[in-house]
């Protein structure tokens, strides 16, 4: 449905008035003092974004891998920035960072299983949290993160960059202007061949492919991420798909997820990949992978929309997030880069190229910041997600992707696991807002600020 902007902005003002004191204090500083827990491959991308900014100081970094610490320090030196305090040598070195460095905020860019504990500790220390996607592993993790944020009032943002993808924001702009009519159905997912991410040769600096090692013998994501495919079966990475869909459906702000059901195919892709590449006696050949090659999750929303998510990372395929936005007046699909708007596209019942429409409805954020994104990762999306966190924290404004978004999107994983384990049972989706969703107004990407 079209957005009532007056209603949006009233919600922004009401939320800002209720901000914790910590967030308002951060706004009084010329520069934010930041730390990064995890300067691996993804952490380096965030580091590069932060080093381009003049309103932050990277005062501390932490990682257990000396190779990545050295690479981070080299990047900081090359940028002409002061050397940060280094925390390493122990899996708990990040606790020392939170205790000693008097940080305004911390970026958490570590393996998924560490996110909840690190975010909770940071919020307890009144250090604002920018957390990479996956807020927790178990459903209880999500409740604990949420309760800590509510109790401490410490700002928390999930770093879901796809919400800022240029076509995604243009389509959100179109939807808010009513071009699709009333939104009825949404689709998205994570459809990305990760076999060369989940396996490598275990050589520092060579993260992608080149071998079939994982776990203790792997390096980078192969060291920890692949184990989730061994022991778990569900949608392990929902936020890239659900984030944009949730913003379109106003989830947690006038709408919510009500029910969820998941299905998983058989698991064949990872074993086939290993068997094709590993020597006959290689131990990776004996691994048993639990994660279904294609996992589909259906979600029903309070306002009647349906959402279909697809997780597909173990088979050969081109990259696609598979977005589909469909309403009473038409639809957009990213796979075929096409759009159809009844009465507006040229020929009835015929797809039209989406790009001219995306150009016409380019979001104000991209119009303003597009030139600044040329060196940014993931086609510029990484600039926006870092910029949003920093600007919101400095101005004392609500986080545009907040704690309720974080836990609702991320909780899809344990709920999908439970649904599959119980024979594809339909489950009630927890209301993390305790009923507040009905009166909260949308705030995400309303203008060109962040």
> What pLDDT digit, counting tens, does each position of 127-159 carry?
999 999 999 999 999 999 999 999 999 999 999
pLDDT grade for 30, boundaries at 50, 70 and 90: confident
What is the rounded CA–CA span in Å between residue 240 and residue 309? 10
Question: Residue 11: is its pLDDT beyond 50?
Answer: no
Domain boundaries, the chain: 5-161, 163-365+403-438
Arithmetic mean of pLDDT, 289-302: 98
Q: The pTM is what? A: 0.93
CATH class, range 5-161: alpha beta
pLDDT grade for 178, boundaries at 50, 70 and 90: very high
Q: Give residue-wise pLDDT tens across range 250-288.
A: 999 999 999 999 999 999 999 999 999 999 999 999 999
Q: Do domains 5-161 and 163-365+403-438 have the same CATH topology?
A: no
Q: What pLDDT does residue 189 have?
A: 98
Q: What pLDDT does residue 375 have?
A: 82
Q: Decide which of 1.20.58.220, 3.90.226.30, 1.10.10.60, 3.30.360.10 is the CATH code for 163-365+403-438.
A: 3.30.360.10
């Amino acid at each position: 449905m079209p957005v009532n902007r007056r209603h949006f902005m009233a919600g922004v003002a009401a939320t800002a008035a209720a901000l914790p004191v910590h967030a308002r204090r951060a706004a009084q500083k010329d520069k934010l003092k930041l730390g990064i827990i995890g300067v691996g491959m993804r952490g380096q991308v965030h580091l590069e974004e932060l080093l381009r900014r003049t309103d932050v100081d990277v005062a501390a970094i932490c990682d257990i891998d000396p190779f990545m610490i050295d690479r981070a320090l080299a990047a900081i030196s090359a940028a002409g920035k002061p050397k940060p305090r280094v925390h390493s040598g122990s899996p708990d070195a990040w606790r020392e960072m939170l205790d000693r460095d008097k940080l305004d905020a911390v970026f958490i860019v570590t393996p998924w299983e560490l996110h909840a504990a690190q975010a909770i500790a940071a919020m307890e220390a009144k250090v604002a949290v920018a957390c990479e996607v996956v807020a927790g592993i178990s459903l209880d993790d999500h409740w604990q993160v949420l309760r800590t944020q509510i109790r401490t009032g410490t700002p928390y943002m999930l770093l879901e960059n796809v919400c800022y993808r240029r076509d995604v924001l243009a389509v959100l702009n179109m939807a808010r202007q009513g071009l699709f009519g009333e939104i009825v159905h949404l689709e998205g997912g994570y459809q990305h061949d990760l076999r060369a991410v989940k396996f490598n040769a275990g050589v520092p600096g060579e993260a992608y492919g080149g071998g079939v090692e994982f776990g203790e013998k792997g390096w980078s994501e192969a060291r920890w991420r692949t184990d989730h495919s061994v022991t778990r079966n569900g949608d392990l990475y929902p936020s890239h798909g659900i984030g944009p869909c949730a913003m379109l459906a106003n989830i947690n702000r006038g709408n919510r997820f009500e029910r969820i059901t998941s299905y998983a195919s058989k698991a064949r892709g990872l074993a086939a990949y290993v068997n094709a590449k590993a020597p006959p006696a290689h131990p990776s050949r004996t691994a048993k992978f639990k994660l279904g090659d294609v996992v589909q999750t259906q979600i029903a929303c309070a306002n009647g929309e349906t959402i279909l998510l697809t997780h597909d990372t173990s088979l050969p395929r081109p990259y696609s997030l598979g977005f589909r936005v469909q309403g009473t007046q038409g639809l957009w699909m990213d796979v075929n880069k096409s759009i159809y708007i009844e009465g507006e596209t040229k020929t009835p019942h015929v797809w039209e190229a989406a790009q001219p429409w995306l150009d016409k409805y380019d979001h104000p954020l991209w119009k303003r910041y597009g030139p600044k994104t040329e060196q940014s990762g993931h086609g510029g999306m990484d600039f926006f997600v870092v910029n949003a966190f920093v600007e919101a924290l400095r101005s004392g404004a609500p986080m545009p992707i907040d704690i309720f978004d974080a836990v609702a999107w991320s909780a899809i994983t344990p709920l999908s696991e439970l649904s599959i384990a119980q024979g594809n049972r339909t489950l009630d989706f927890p209301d993390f807002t305790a009923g507040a969703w009905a009166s909260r107004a949308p705030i995400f990407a309303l203008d060109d600020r962040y």
